[in-house]
Amino acid sequence: MNNSLLLAAALIVVGSAPASLAQDVTLIAPTAMRCALTHLAPDVETKTGHALKPTTGVGGAMRQRVIHGDAFDVSVVQAPIEDVVASGNVVAGSQTTLATVSVALLMRKGSPKPDISTPETLKQTLLAAKSITYGGAAGPAGGAAAAFDDVLKKLGIYDEMQGKVKHVPGSAPLKVLTDGVADYAVLFTSEADDPGVEVAGTIPESLTPPARMVGFVSTHASSAEAAQAVLKFLASADAAPAYQACEMQVAH
């Protein structure tokens, strides 16, 4: 009887060990990652035993929070990463590419789809538009907005387009587009999550390559082991379907 009781007690201890090690793992990331993280959160908990608690927002603002040392367990930023590593708020050498995502021109669902497959056809589409919308003026520029400013400069129409551009913060370009205030919106493909919009096309890679999303273990992580486990899962083959469902490209 005593042996049976001891065995039962041992099984209870062993069985409860994973739960006792479970952590809430906080993560900060650009809005471009929001769709994928929503899909991945249940799998993170199932596969790692840790609950994912993500915070997403405009890429530039989220990057500054990492650089300024806000306490998160895992940090995801858009490359380049040199300033993030130099801040000392991420573990050097923990950088892990999770996925890439293209800059897209969005339109209202059902609108005639323009040809933007080449720099010249994109240029003509933009010049013919009455207005376009993307982030930038009301706060730190997100990755897609900053990239698109460079695109306009490469096309030689930056100054000419300024009278047509409506700058709004965060994901607000989607509302400006669906309200009919603008002909097109510029966001990452993974942010086209409004049923009233669709992707007209992606910006040619010769003008702006897909953005690379890079994850780090934070130096402020409450558990470096739990943070590393979550980051490893987010970069695994098991996570690939979530990225693909959100119009992102798997990095491996």
3-state secondary structure the chain: CHHHHHHHHHHHHHHHHHHHHCCEEEEEEEHHHHHHHHHHHHHHHHHHCCEEEEEEECHHHHHHHHHCCCCCCEEEEECCCHHHHHCCCECCCCCEEEEEECEEEEEECCCCCCCCCCHHHHHHHHHHCCCEEECCCCCCCCHHHHHHHHHHHHHCCHHHHHHHEEECCCCHHHHHHHCCCCCEEEEEHHHCCCCCEEEEEECCCCCCCCEEEEEEEECCCCCHHHHHHHHHHHCCHHHHHHHHHCCCEECC
User: pTM of the entire structure?
Assistant: 0.85
- Tens of pLDDT, residue by residue over 155-191, are 999 999 999 999 887 668 889 999 999 999 999 999 9
pLDDT of residue 231: 98
Mean pLDDT of 99-121: 96
**Euclidean distance between CA atoms 203 and 208, whole angstroms:** 7
Q: Does the structure show a pLDDT above 80 at 18?
A: no
Assess whether pLDDT exceeds 60 at residue 19: no
Mean pLDDT, residues 183-204 taken together: 94
- What is residue 62's predicted lDDT score, i.e. its pLDDT? 93
Q: pLDDT at position 145, please?
A: 84
Average pLDDT of the chain is 89
Cα separation, 157 vs 147, in Å, equals 14
Predicted confidence at residue 170, as pLDDT, reads 65
- From CA 38, how far away is CA 33, in angstroms rounded? 9
Please name each of the domains of the chain with its CATH number: 2-99+210-250 (3.40.190.10), 103-202 (3.40.190.10)
Give mean pLDDT, residues 59-85.
94
